[in-house]
A and B are shown apart, each in its own frame.
Chain A
């Protein structure tokens, strides 16, 4: 698989703040790549450098084999971007938003009309084509933003939190569309705070914090490596349990009111815990990307 994004030793400083601190990664053609991290980790800053919006303080970015600092115009013509902020034109209609945006890519008016109609159908917005953006719901705005990002038939789609603030219905609808696009061979870079979304969509992902990469791998690999297949969540753990875990050196996170136990599937420890320590509040579940994320980036609030 040829790499369509190559990032080497990328840094971005804003005065005293180092938002991105020497990260390197690659994204292969057709890959769905996730960029995860807590608030302020540097995801948006990284993504903005990827599509040539911000110049890096240091490092090299190559997209489609071209240097973004030199060939930005040619690169931008081949990528679609869905920014974290809503940048739609509130004064214009849904359809005008798409057609004018197509103009920025020098797509002829006729072709733009055809593509707009097609995309509005795909994102279930066809019946709102003449509505003003100001009158749309949050879910429709996100879908329209996605439609707009696809107007130039990009080979690479860059999505900065495309589902933040959406209700479960809208989120599932967006996931469904993104899966269709992925199946059609589009390469995607995604940031999200929904671990379920990342697990479902991403082939591979990195977790960043304080501008540095913590881990890199597929969602399954990372879950297996850092959490294990199953987790026991115990409410109101007592001292006896804590002593037992300490004595047997069992991997766990003690949150005070709650205790998370990471155990290999069906081994004697989980049986022992179930029999001896599960008085009332005990949940047995599979390990998830959310466990990985919280274990690696900590549970304290950011910002």
Chain B
């Protein structure tokens, strides 16, 4: 038996709260990136890139290049926020600050701590997505009110990336070695998930690889919500992300437990 259901209760919210309180102490810093990042991209692609490539064909419609990448920016921010939270930040809490050791002297279970870390990373991702959405919406890149669905979608996607991040935290020997999953997993996803160009531009053999990336599916769903356009079956993308989340939540539980129980 991998998980004993008795070890998981709503107590995990207390750990989530602890992260929220810490986050609030530096919330101004935490809000600067999602606020400025979309502005930076709009400036770069809307102004600098405009002469080279003004429109792009996506799902049978002709849209501006900036409108094409705007939803992908939010999806990418969701990935980065959740993944970096459960890798670097969780590792610091686990290894350097021994926060989890302290918690394990209380009625909290290891499972609750792990679940709380993942849920927290998704919360942080959703908060960043909300701010970006407001900025992008102000420039007319979001369809309202459908665009509000981006917030629950960001949370949903955040769970997937938070879980896979915590899985890496469970197996990585030192904090420097996070470079490896970032180079092999995050960066290729960032570039080849239909973020900056449609996947159909990739050579045929590479297209199925892109379909395996969770970010690809999150980008597809984000475009559906922001633009009302889609080139894949949205339900399949939702199912894929759900399955990905379940698998990596289980893996995170197994490997983090192995690491924390001495």
- 13 residue pairs bridging A and B, Cβ less than 8 Å apart: A51-B105, A53-B101, A53-B262, A73-B109, A76-B107, A85-B98, A85-B101, A89-B18, A100-B18, A103-B14, A105-B107, A106-B11, A106-B107
Contact of A90 among B11, B15, B97 (CB under 8 A): B97
Query: Across the two chains, which residue of chain B brings its CB closest to A91?
Result: B22
Residues of B in contact with A, size category: 20 to 34
Distance, CA A92 to CA B17, complexed state (A): 13
Q: Which residues of A contact B (CB under 8 A)?
A: 14, 48, 51-55, 73-74, 76-77, 79, 81, 83, 85-92, 96, 100-101, 103-106, 149, 152
Q: Are B98 and A96 in contact (CB under 8 A)?
A: no
Residues of B within 8 A of A (CB): 11, 14-15, 17-18, 21-22, 25, 97-99, 101-109, 261-262
Residue of A nearest to B97 (CB): A90
Is B107's CB under 8 angstroms from A104's CB? yes
In the complex, A4 Cα to B105 Cα: how many Å?
18
Q: How far is the CB of A190 from chain B (nearest CB, A)?
A: 16
B107, A87: Cβ atoms under 8 Å? no
Q: Are B17 and A87 in contact (CB under 8 A)?
A: no
Residues of A within 8 A of B105 (CB): 51, 53, 76, 79, 81, 83, 87, 149
A105: contacting residue among B97, B101, B106, CB under 8 A = B106
Shortest CB-to-CB span from B9 to chain A, Å, is: 9
Once A73-B107, A104-B14, A105-B106 are accepted as A-B contacts, the answer to whether A96 and B21 lie under 8 Å apart by CB is: yes
Among B15, B22, B102, B108, contact of A87 (Cβ-Cβ < 8 Å): B102
Contacts of B102 in A (CB 8 A): 83, 87-89, 101
Docked complex Cα distance between A211 and B104 (Å): 24
**Contact in complex: A104, B108 (CB < 8 Å):** yes
Contact between B98 and A86, CB atoms less than 8 A apart: yes
Query: What is the bound-complex CA distance between A74 and B109, given in angstroms?
Result: 12
Q: Return chain A residues, CB-CB under 8 Å to B21.
A: 92, 96, 100
B103 touching A104, Cβ below 8 Å: yes
A85 nearest CB neighbor, chain B only: B98
Residues of chain B with a CB closer than 8 A to A48's CB: 262
CB closest residue in chain B, given A106: B11
A136 to chain B, nearest CB (A): 15
The one of A51, A74, A76, A89 in contact with B97, judged by C-beta atoms closer than 8 angstroms, is A89
Q: Which of A48, A92, A104 has the most CB of B within 10 A?
A: A104
Residue of A nearest to B9 (CB): A73
CB distance from A90 to the nearest CB of B (A): 6
Min CB–CB distance B187 → chain A (angstroms)? 29
- List 15 additional contacts besides A53-B104, A83-B102; criterion CB under 8 Å: A51-B105, A52-B104, A74-B107, A83-B98, A83-B101, A87-B98, A87-B105, A89-B18, A89-B22, A96-B21, A100-B17, A100-B21, A101-B102, A104-B106, A105-B107
A54 nearest in chain B by CB position: B262
Q: Which residues of B contact A73 (CB under 8 A)?
A: 107, 109
Task: For the complex formed, measure the closest distance between the CB of A163 and the CB atoms of chain B, giving whole angstroms.
Answer: 19
Chain A residue numbers with a CB within 8 Å of B25 are 91-92
Point out the residues of chain B lying under 8 angstroms from A104, CB to CB. 11, 14-15, 103, 106-108
Among A73, A81, A86, find the residue whose CB has the most chain B CB atoms closer than 10 A.
A73
Q: Specify which chain B residues have a CB less than 8 angstroms from the CB of A101 in the assembled complex.
A: 102, 106
CA–CA, A52 and B105, complex, Å: 8
Nearest CB to that of B13 among chain A residues? A103
Distance A87 CA – B105 CA, assembled complex (angstroms): 10
Complex CA–CA separation, A96 to B261 (angstroms)? 27
Q: In whole angstroms, how far apart are the Cα atoms of A86 and B262 in the complex?
A: 17
**What's the nearest-Cβ distance from chain A to residue B11, in Å?**
7
Q: A55 and B22 in contact (CB under 8 A), knowing A76-B106, A83-B101?
A: no
Min CB gap A130→B, angstroms:
12
CB distance from A279 to the nearest CB of B (A): 54
Within 8 Å CB of A83, what residues of B?
98, 101-102, 105
For residue A77, which residues in chain B have a CB less than 8 angstroms away from its CB? 107
Identity of the chain B residue whose Cβ is nearest the Cβ of A79 in the assembled complex? B105
Q: Give A55's nearest chain B residue, CB to CB.
A: B261
A103–B17 CB distance below 8 A = yes
Closest A-chain residue to B112, C-beta based? Answer: A104
CB distance from A135 to the nearest CB of B (A): 14
B262: nearest residue on chain A (CB-CB)? A54
Q: How far is the CA of A85 from the CA of B107 in the complex (A)?
A: 19
B114 CB to nearest chain A CB (Å): 15
Which of A14, A55, A88, A91 has its CB near the most chain B CB atoms (within 10 A)? A91
Residues of A within 8 A of B17 (CB): 100, 103
**Alpha-carbon separation in the docked complex, A55 to B148 (Å):** 47
